[in-house]
Amino acid sequence: MSHLPRFRSARRPLVAALALALVAGAALAKPEVTDPVVKKRVEAMQLLKEQTGILGDMAAGKAPYDAARAEEAAATILATADAVEPLYEDRALDPGSDALAEIWNNPGEFRQKVNRLYKAAMGLETGSAKAIGSSMQALGAACKDCHGRFRM
């Protein structure tokens, strides 16, 4: 008796399970943002994430310290942080976004959190990997504070 037919029959449930997992994953995936106002917000948040990642990698030693690149990342974070509040002036929601309506229900609180982000961005120090790491703590706390309140 050959083992080959038994192997094929045992493989079918595995292939079916993998196919089902892929289909389920696609069904649960968040839809793409289509609203142009919301799309600008998402792009700004992605830019913050990317630039923070650059600095974070330098601070953690995952990437070599590069003064010019660190300074550029910090400047981009500051400029983007300054642009966050105006991006949320128009009440616009999109199923592909993680923003909550609480942003517009509590504009004063949202403004305070954005100001905290801006102040943390102003305080970023890029003179060394160690300085980046120390100064990023306030930035991370500001991001976490706002996301905890105004993001799904």
Per-residue pLDDT for 42 more than 50?
yes
With a CB cutoff of 8 Å and minimum separation 6, the contacts of 152 are 98, 99, 100
How wide is the angle at C-alpha 25 spanned by C-alphas 22 and 26, nearest 5°?
Answer: 90
What are the extents of the domains in the chain? 1-30, 34-150
pLDDT of residue 30: 77
Q: Can you tell me the distance from the alpha carbon of 78 to that of 76, in angstroms, rounded to the nearest whole number? A: 5
Tell me the pLDDT tens digit for each residue of 67-107: 999 999 999 999 999 999 999 999 999 999 999 999 999 99
Q: 121 is written with which tokens?
A: 């961005």
The three-class DSSP label of residue 64 is coil
Per the CB < 8 A criterion, the answer to whether 37 and 89 are in contact is no
pTM of the model: 0.80
- CATH number 1.20.120.10 given to 34-150: yes
Confidence class for position 35, pLDDT limits 50, 70, 90 = very high
Helices and strands (H and E) in the chain: how many: 6, 0
Q: Which of 142, 138, 131, 137 has its CA nearest to residue 71?
A: 131
